[in-house]
Structure 1
Amino acid sequence: MTQHQSPQTMKPATAAKKLGVYLEATPADFREGAVSRAELNQLQAEPPQWLQDLRANGPHPRPVVAAKLGVSIAGLARGGVTEALTTEQIEALKQEQPEWLIKERATQAEVRKETVRIKKKNAEKAENTERD
């Protein structure tokens, strides 16, 4: 006796996160139903026009906005950015270079530098342990 498994599905919010798009900007039929793993794979392999447009123009979710600005999500919040932004709005912020953005980019650069330093230190430590 073989059991037929139902396809694995996810909430629209999870699918939107995996696609890197802002859920509220997706079409209603996407937001209202469950998304199967196969549907998600199809959307990733052959994005429909609405998905291409969202990825290109936004509005973008906070993780995407943060990445495009070169800051952390917490840095966005400290800068007062709590809503999804369009590509145009992100480009305007890059041009304006508000003080908070300059500060948060510097903070992010320091965090990255420290992460590299720690990885290097740990790699050297592991290498020395292997030798002993």
Structure 2
Amino acid sequence: MTSHQTAQTMKPATAAKKLGVYLQATPAEFQEGVVSRAELNALQANPPAWLEELRSNGPHPRPVVAAKLGVSIAGLARGGVTEPLTTEQIEALKQESPGWLRKERATQAEVRKEGARITKRNAERAAQSDDRRS
């Protein structure tokens, strides 16, 4: 008995998310079809001009905008940023440094600091637990 393997496919929205691009900015043929795992791998390994352009200049989806600004996605929403932004718009926001952006960056820094503290504490507890077992 031989196994028949079907190609794994995904919706364009899923593929765009994995590629880190805003779906509505992709070419129509990308938006209208399905993307196989092999096609996604090919796009990642050898991106066409449209993909390189979107990655460098945008418009960028919220997760990418948040990462470029150093804030959370929720922080973007609190700051009133609900639309995709281009790289130029992101740089302008960084230069302008509005109050909400400074506040959200500080919040994000605190979250990271607390996460590091908890990770360290858990590692110390695990080490103590291992010492007791020995």
Q: TM-score, normalised by structure 1?
A: 0.98
5+ long unaligned stretches in structure 1? none
Q: Indicate the SS of the match to 2:60.
A: coil
User: Counterpart of 2:43?
Assistant: 43
**1: CA distance, partners of 2:113 / 2:4:** 51
How far 1:3 sits from its partner (Å)? 4.4
The letter of the residue matching 1:93 is L
Note the 1:121-132 alignment, pairs <5 A: 121-132=121-132
User: Counterpart of 1:117?
Assistant: 117
How far 1:2 sits from its partner (Å)? 2.9
**2: CA distance, partners of 1:59 / 1:130:** 50
User: Counterpart of 1:2?
Assistant: 2
Identity among equivalent pairs (%): 79
The letter of the residue matching 1:129 is S
Q: TM-score, normalised by structure 2?
A: 0.97
Note the 1:56-95 alignment, pairs <5 A: 56-95=56-95
User: Counterpart of 1:105?
Assistant: 105
The runs of at least 4 consecutive aligned structure 1 residues that moved more than 3 Å come to: none
**1: CA distance, partners of 2:89 / 2:56:** 13
**2: CA distance, partners of 1:123 / 1:2:** 47
- RMSD, matched Cα: 0.7
Residues paired across the two proteins, number: 132
5+ long unaligned stretches in structure 2? none
